[in-house]
Chain A
Amino acid sequence: AQKVTQAQTEISVVEKEDVTLDCVYETRDTTYYLFWYKQPPSGELVFLIRRNSFDEQNEISGRYSWNFQKSTSSFNFTITASQVVDSAVYFCALRSRFGNEKLTFGTGTRLTIIP
Protein backbone atom coordinates (compact mmCIF):
# COMPACT_ATOMS: atom_id res chain seq x y z
CA ALA A 1 0.00 0.00 0.00
CA GLN A 2 1.11 3.52 -0.70
CA LYS A 3 0.78 6.45 1.61
CA VAL A 4 1.72 10.12 1.58
CA THR A 5 1.84 12.09 4.80
CA GLN A 6 1.86 15.85 5.02
CA ALA A 7 1.95 16.39 8.74
CA GLN A 8 1.71 20.17 8.54
CA THR A 9 -1.95 21.03 8.11
CA GLU A 10 -1.47 24.78 8.10
CA ILE A 11 1.54 27.07 8.07
CA SER A 12 1.66 30.85 8.28
CA VAL A 13 4.76 32.89 7.66
CA VAL A 14 5.48 36.55 7.14
CA GLU A 15 6.27 37.62 3.62
CA LYS A 16 9.93 37.21 2.61
CA GLU A 17 10.51 34.44 5.09
CA ASP A 18 11.59 31.00 3.89
CA VAL A 19 9.23 28.10 4.47
CA THR A 20 9.56 24.33 4.06
CA LEU A 21 6.65 22.00 3.45
CA ASP A 22 7.23 18.43 4.53
CA CYS A 23 6.23 15.30 2.66
CA VAL A 24 6.89 11.74 3.81
CA TYR A 25 5.86 8.78 1.72
CA GLU A 26 5.54 5.03 2.02
CA THR A 27 5.80 2.53 -0.80
CA ARG A 28 7.11 -0.97 -1.33
CA ASP A 29 8.07 -0.24 -4.88
CA THR A 30 11.64 0.46 -5.87
CA THR A 31 10.65 2.66 -8.79
CA TYR A 32 8.18 5.43 -8.24
CA TYR A 33 7.44 9.07 -8.94
CA LEU A 34 6.79 11.96 -6.61
CA PHE A 35 4.90 15.12 -7.43
CA TRP A 36 3.99 18.45 -5.94
CA TYR A 37 0.84 20.34 -6.88
CA LYS A 38 -0.31 23.81 -5.88
CA GLN A 39 -3.96 24.72 -5.33
CA PRO A 40 -4.36 28.50 -5.10
CA PRO A 41 -7.52 30.11 -3.73
CA SER A 42 -9.02 30.06 -7.23
CA GLY A 43 -9.24 26.28 -6.87
CA GLU A 44 -7.37 24.78 -9.79
CA LEU A 45 -4.60 22.24 -9.26
CA VAL A 46 -1.31 23.32 -10.75
CA PHE A 47 1.52 20.87 -11.37
CA LEU A 48 4.83 22.04 -9.93
CA ILE A 49 7.36 19.25 -10.16
CA ARG A 50 7.93 15.54 -10.77
CA ARG A 51 10.81 13.53 -9.35
CA ASN A 52 11.82 9.97 -10.25
CA SER A 53 12.90 7.64 -7.46
CA PHE A 54 16.21 6.91 -9.15
CA ASP A 55 17.14 10.59 -9.36
CA GLU A 56 17.99 11.99 -5.96
CA GLN A 57 19.34 15.27 -7.19
CA ASN A 58 17.73 18.23 -5.58
CA GLU A 59 16.10 20.74 -7.86
CA ILE A 60 15.80 24.48 -7.80
CA SER A 61 13.41 26.54 -9.84
CA GLY A 62 13.55 30.21 -9.00
CA ARG A 63 12.41 30.60 -5.41
CA TYR A 64 11.29 26.98 -5.24
CA SER A 65 13.50 24.06 -4.31
CA TRP A 66 12.89 20.41 -3.61
CA ASN A 67 14.89 18.07 -1.38
CA PHE A 68 14.42 14.38 -2.16
CA GLN A 69 15.91 11.91 0.31
CA LYS A 70 15.21 8.23 -0.22
CA SER A 71 16.90 7.32 3.05
CA THR A 72 14.17 9.11 4.97
CA SER A 73 11.41 8.71 2.34
CA SER A 74 10.94 12.43 2.19
CA PHE A 75 10.37 14.92 -0.59
CA ASN A 76 10.30 18.35 1.00
CA PHE A 77 9.49 21.62 -0.72
CA THR A 78 11.08 24.93 0.22
CA ILE A 79 9.95 28.38 -0.84
CA THR A 80 12.60 31.04 -0.42
CA ALA A 81 11.67 34.67 0.16
CA SER A 82 7.97 33.85 0.22
CA GLN A 83 5.43 36.11 -1.45
CA VAL A 84 1.73 36.60 -0.92
CA VAL A 85 1.07 34.85 -4.24
CA ASP A 86 2.52 31.69 -2.73
CA SER A 87 -0.51 31.41 -0.47
CA ALA A 88 -2.19 28.16 -1.46
CA VAL A 89 -2.72 24.57 -0.48
CA TYR A 90 0.18 22.38 -1.55
CA PHE A 91 -0.22 18.67 -2.21
CA CYS A 92 2.46 16.02 -2.39
CA ALA A 93 1.62 12.90 -4.41
CA LEU A 94 3.12 9.49 -5.18
CA ARG A 95 2.77 7.09 -8.05
CA SER A 96 4.37 3.70 -8.55
CA ARG A 97 6.13 2.79 -11.74
CA PHE A 98 4.33 -0.43 -12.53
CA GLY A 99 0.82 -1.65 -12.64
CA ASN A 100 -0.91 1.29 -11.12
CA GLU A 101 -1.72 4.57 -12.75
CA LYS A 102 -3.21 6.06 -9.61
CA LEU A 103 -1.79 9.04 -7.82
CA THR A 104 -1.81 8.86 -4.05
CA PHE A 105 -2.21 12.36 -2.63
CA GLY A 106 -1.33 13.69 0.77
CA THR A 107 -3.89 15.69 2.68
CA GLY A 108 -2.25 18.97 1.74
CA THR A 109 -0.63 21.84 3.61
CA ARG A 110 -2.37 25.21 3.65
CA LEU A 111 0.28 27.91 3.39
CA THR A 112 -0.60 31.48 4.24
CA ILE A 113 1.85 34.27 3.56
CA ILE A 114 1.19 37.29 5.72
CA PRO A 115 2.00 40.61 4.07
Chain B
Amino acid sequence: DAGVIQSPRHEVTEMGQEVTLRCKPISGHDYLFWYRQTMMRGLELLIYFNNNVPIDDSGMPEDRFSAKMPNASFSTLKIQPSEPRDSAVYFCASSLIPAGGNEQFFGPGTRLTVL
Protein backbone atom coordinates (compact mmCIF):
# COMPACT_ATOMS: atom_id res chain seq x y z
CA ASP B 1 0.00 0.00 0.00
CA ALA B 2 1.24 3.47 -0.81
CA GLY B 3 1.91 5.72 2.12
CA VAL B 4 1.50 9.46 2.23
CA ILE B 5 3.04 10.99 -0.86
CA GLN B 6 4.58 14.43 -0.91
CA SER B 7 6.07 16.45 -3.72
CA PRO B 8 8.48 17.88 -4.34
CA ARG B 9 10.97 16.28 -1.98
CA HIS B 10 13.28 19.27 -2.20
CA GLU B 11 12.54 22.82 -3.20
CA VAL B 12 14.97 25.68 -3.49
CA THR B 13 13.54 29.08 -4.29
CA GLU B 14 14.33 32.72 -3.98
CA MET B 15 12.75 35.08 -1.52
CA GLY B 16 9.51 36.49 -2.81
CA GLN B 17 8.62 33.53 -4.98
CA GLU B 18 5.50 31.46 -4.57
CA VAL B 19 5.97 27.91 -3.31
CA THR B 20 3.42 25.13 -3.53
CA LEU B 21 3.82 21.89 -1.64
CA ARG B 22 1.66 18.91 -2.47
CA CYS B 23 0.34 15.95 -0.54
CA LYS B 24 -1.61 12.82 -1.31
CA PRO B 25 -2.92 11.14 1.86
CA ILE B 26 -3.43 7.46 2.39
CA SER B 27 -6.63 6.35 0.72
CA GLY B 28 -9.49 6.17 3.19
CA HIS B 29 -7.97 8.48 5.74
CA ASP B 30 -10.35 11.25 6.77
CA TYR B 31 -7.82 13.51 8.43
CA LEU B 32 -4.91 15.34 6.88
CA PHE B 33 -2.31 17.35 8.78
CA TRP B 34 0.42 19.76 7.70
CA TYR B 35 3.46 20.16 9.95
CA ARG B 36 6.62 22.20 9.81
CA GLN B 37 9.88 21.08 11.39
CA THR B 38 12.75 23.39 12.23
CA MET B 39 15.69 23.09 14.56
CA MET B 40 14.50 26.03 16.62
CA ARG B 41 10.82 25.17 16.98
CA GLY B 42 10.70 21.43 16.46
CA LEU B 43 7.53 19.95 14.97
CA GLU B 44 4.69 22.42 14.64
CA LEU B 45 1.18 21.65 13.47
CA LEU B 46 0.15 24.22 10.88
CA ILE B 47 -3.33 23.13 9.90
CA TYR B 48 -5.48 20.05 9.68
CA PHE B 49 -8.48 18.95 7.65
CA ASN B 50 -11.34 16.57 8.29
CA ASN B 51 -13.15 15.31 5.22
CA ASN B 52 -11.50 18.05 3.15
CA VAL B 53 -12.67 20.82 5.48
CA PRO B 54 -10.10 22.88 7.39
CA ILE B 55 -10.73 22.41 11.10
CA ASP B 56 -7.94 24.27 12.82
CA ASP B 57 -5.52 26.62 11.13
CA SER B 58 -4.31 28.33 14.28
CA GLY B 59 -0.79 27.10 13.62
CA MET B 60 -0.47 28.83 10.26
CA PRO B 61 2.23 31.44 10.84
CA GLU B 62 0.74 34.29 8.87
CA ASP B 63 -1.32 35.24 5.87
CA ARG B 64 1.46 34.28 3.52
CA PHE B 65 0.55 30.66 4.22
CA SER B 66 -2.56 29.01 2.83
CA ALA B 67 -3.71 25.41 2.53
CA LYS B 68 -6.42 23.74 0.53
CA MET B 69 -7.86 20.31 0.17
CA PRO B 70 -10.01 20.24 -2.96
CA ASN B 71 -10.70 16.52 -2.67
CA ALA B 72 -10.00 13.54 -0.46
CA SER B 73 -6.83 12.62 -2.27
CA PHE B 74 -5.01 15.91 -2.61
CA SER B 75 -3.92 18.86 -0.53
CA THR B 76 -1.64 21.83 -1.11
CA LEU B 77 0.25 24.17 1.16
CA LYS B 78 1.17 27.44 -0.48
CA ILE B 79 3.53 30.14 0.65
CA GLN B 80 3.32 33.46 -1.12
CA PRO B 81 5.59 35.34 -0.95
CA SER B 82 8.23 33.07 0.53
CA GLU B 83 10.85 34.33 2.98
CA PRO B 84 14.14 32.82 4.18
CA ARG B 85 12.63 32.11 7.59
CA ASP B 86 10.20 29.73 5.91
CA SER B 87 13.07 27.34 5.25
CA ALA B 88 12.14 24.09 6.96
CA VAL B 89 10.97 20.56 6.35
CA TYR B 90 7.24 20.40 5.74
CA PHE B 91 5.47 17.16 6.53
CA CYS B 92 2.04 16.00 5.55
CA ALA B 93 0.36 13.30 7.61
CA SER B 94 -2.94 11.48 7.44
CA SER B 95 -4.98 9.31 9.76
CA LEU B 96 -8.27 7.65 10.33
CA ILE B 97 -10.51 9.29 12.92
CA PRO B 98 -8.15 10.31 15.74
CA ALA B 99 -10.80 9.77 18.39
CA GLY B 100 -10.01 6.11 18.19
CA GLY B 101 -6.41 6.85 19.00
CA ASN B 102 -5.42 6.17 15.44
CA GLU B 103 -1.87 7.11 14.67
CA GLN B 104 -0.85 9.63 12.06
CA PHE B 105 1.19 8.40 9.15
CA PHE B 106 3.71 10.87 7.83
CA GLY B 107 4.96 11.51 4.34
CA PRO B 108 8.66 11.79 3.55
CA GLY B 109 8.58 15.56 3.85
CA THR B 110 9.50 18.44 1.58
CA ARG B 111 12.73 20.22 2.41
CA LEU B 112 12.22 23.87 1.51
CA THR B 113 15.10 26.29 1.20
CA VAL B 114 14.33 29.94 0.59
CA LEU B 115 17.38 31.95 -0.44
- A residues near B (Cβ < 8 Å) are 33, 35, 37, 43-47, 50, 52, 91, 95, 97-98, 101-103, 105, 107-108
A96 to chain B, nearest CB (A): 9
Residue of B nearest to A47 (CB): B103
Interface residues of B in 34-76 (CB under 8 A from A): 42-43, 45, 48, 50, 55-56
- In the assembly, what is the distance between CA of A101 and CA of B101, in Å? 9
Which A residues touch B111, using CB under 8 A? 43
Secondary structure type dominating chain B contacts: strand
Q: Are A50 and B103 in contact (CB under 8 A)?
A: yes
Residue of B nearest to A52 (CB): B101
Which B residues touch A101, using CB under 8 A? 31, 48, 50, 55-56, 98-99
Question: Interface size for chain B: under 10, 10 to 19, 20 to 34, or 35 or more residues?
Answer: 20 to 34
Q: Are A47 and B43 in contact (CB under 8 A)?
A: no
Interface residues of B in 2-56 (CB under 8 A from A): 31, 33, 42-43, 45, 48, 50, 55-56
Contacts A47-B105, A102-B48 aside, 7 further interface pairs with beta carbons under 8 A come to A44-B107, A46-B106, A98-B99, A101-B31, A101-B98, A101-B99, A103-B45
Which B residues touch A33, using CB under 8 A? 101
Whether B113 sits at the interface, judged by CB under 8 Å, is: no
Q: Are B103 and A35 in contact (CB under 8 A)?
A: yes
Whether B89 sits at the interface, judged by CB under 8 Å, is: yes
Which A residues touch B45, using CB under 8 A? 102-103
Which A residues touch B98, using CB under 8 A? 95, 101
Residue of B nearest to A98 (CB): B99
